[in-house]
């Protein structure tokens, strides 16, 4: 199939390009080649490339920065998907778009999971802009899949695992306070790329949850990470109140992949098994890339 991936240099975008590239004719672009904010550019690119499927991995993902850069967040996370949806509807392409657990307010008691039929109620600008993106897509194109995922990590890009590992490796003397009252499902971006691949040739339509099975807190994730790499670090659990951030975050971000399972399309895995596989495959490369050499630069 002829597939266009937008936001292709992000952590999910890179894994999508690698996974889908082995099986399909993929054009992978990021903001330098196609800025999804510009409707005319999006329309022209979709007209000229004629993709059968567009996979939108582009987003403004810095949750805290979205609070102070609301206009930019809205342009990328709401206008961008709307532009892609309008262009795809015109050419008959299918749109697969990625959304987030942060469309929910997290008020459900843990371990109750959010399903696709739960009403969204985002707390942050990021969550609100992503929800608006979902709604604009649903208004503009029938042939769409919106995949809500959570707590993404991968080899590249900025994510919790890389941040914690970098700090443990380079600041072993420091004690790290890590939030222990927000619950979610850490999701490997490569597994999500495989889920997207699984959906490409189906007639699945609408909103689907796609996160790992099982759940933990950020502190539990950091502890599991260090244990798997046989590293000792000085981690202290703390509450959300003790670790204030510009953007409010849901206490319960656990998603249930109800619709994928019902349709027998779920390829998502348990979070601990995926973390083991991720670290088994990439642990050494990850550790090397995050370790500063004596000049203070990263190797």
Write out the residues near ligand NAP by the rule CB under 6 A.
Answer: 6-7, 9-13, 30-31, 35-37, 57-61, 76, 80, 98, 100-101, 130, 149-152, 157
Q: Which of 253, 256, 189, 247 is nearest to 218 (CA)?
A: 253
Using alpha carbons, list the distances in angstroms from residue 83 to 38, 71, 241.
Answer: 7, 16, 38
Question: Phi and psi at residue 5, in whole multiples of 5°?
Answer: -110, 125
Q: Which of 39, 30, 33 is nearest to 75 (CA)?
A: 39
Cβ nearer to ligand NAP, comparing 154 with 174: 154
Name the minimum Å distance from CB 246 to ligand NAP: 16
Cβ nearer to ligand NAP, comparing 72 with 272: 72
Cβ nearer to ligand NAP, comparing 175 with 247: 247
Catalytic member of 102, 126, 208, 215: 126
Looking at beta carbons, which residue is closest to ligand NAP?
A: 10
Cβ(290)–Cβ(170) below 8 Å = yes
What SS3 state is found at 104? Answer: coil
183 as an active site residue: the answer is no
Name the minimum Å distance from CB 122 to ligand NAP: 12
Instruction: Provide CB contacts within 8 A for 221, sequence distance 6+.
Output: 151, 160, 161, 186, 275
H helix runs in 92-217, sequence order = 125-140, 160-170, 189-200
Name the minimum Å distance from CB 266 to ligand NAP: 17
Alpha-carbon span 281 to 258, nearest angstrom: 29
Cβ nearer to ligand NAP, comparing 184 with 233: 184
Name the minimum Å distance from CB 176 to ligand NAP: 19
* Residue 241: DSSP 8-state: T
Cβ nearer to ligand NAP, comparing 131 with 279: 131
Q: Catalytic amino acids?
A: 126
């Amino acid at each position: 199939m002829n597939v266009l991936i937008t936001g292709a240099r992000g952590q999910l975008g890179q894994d999508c390009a690698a996974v889908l590239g082995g099986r399909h004719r993929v054009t992978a672009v990021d903001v330098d080649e196609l800025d999804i904010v510009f409707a005319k550019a999006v329309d022209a690119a979709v007209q000229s490339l004629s993709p059968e499927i567009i996979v939108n991995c582009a987003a403004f993902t810095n949750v805290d920065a979205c609070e102070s850069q609301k206009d930019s967040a809205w342009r990328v996370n709401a206008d961008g998907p709307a532009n892609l949806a309008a262009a795809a509807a015109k050419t008959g392409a299918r749109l697969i778009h990625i959304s987030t657990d942060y469309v929910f307010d997290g008020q459900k008691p843990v371990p109750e999971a959010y399903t696709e039929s739960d009403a969204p109620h985002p707390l942050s600008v990021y969550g609100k802009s992503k929800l608006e993106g979902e709604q604009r897509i649903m208004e503009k194109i029938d042939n769409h899949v919106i995949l809500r995922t959570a707590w993404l990590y991968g080899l590249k890009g900025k994510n919790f695992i890389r941040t914690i590992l970098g700090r443990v490796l380079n600041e072993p003397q420091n004690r790290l306070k890590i939030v222990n009252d927000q619950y979610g499902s850490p999701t490997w971006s490569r597994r999500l790329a495989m889920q997207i691949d699984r959906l490409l040739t189906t007639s699945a339509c609408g909103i689907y949850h796609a996160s790992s099975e099982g759940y933990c807190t950020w502190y539990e994730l950091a502890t599991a990470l260090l244990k798997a790499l046989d590293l000792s670090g000085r981690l202290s659990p703390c509450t959300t109140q003790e670790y204030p951030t510009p953007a409010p975050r849901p206490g319960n971000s656990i998603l249930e992949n109800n619709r994928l399972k019902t349709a027998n399309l779920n390829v998502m895995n348990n979070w601990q098994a995926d973390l083991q596989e991720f670290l088994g495959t990439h642990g050494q490369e990850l550790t090397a890339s995050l370790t500063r050499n004596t000049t203070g630069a990263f190797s």
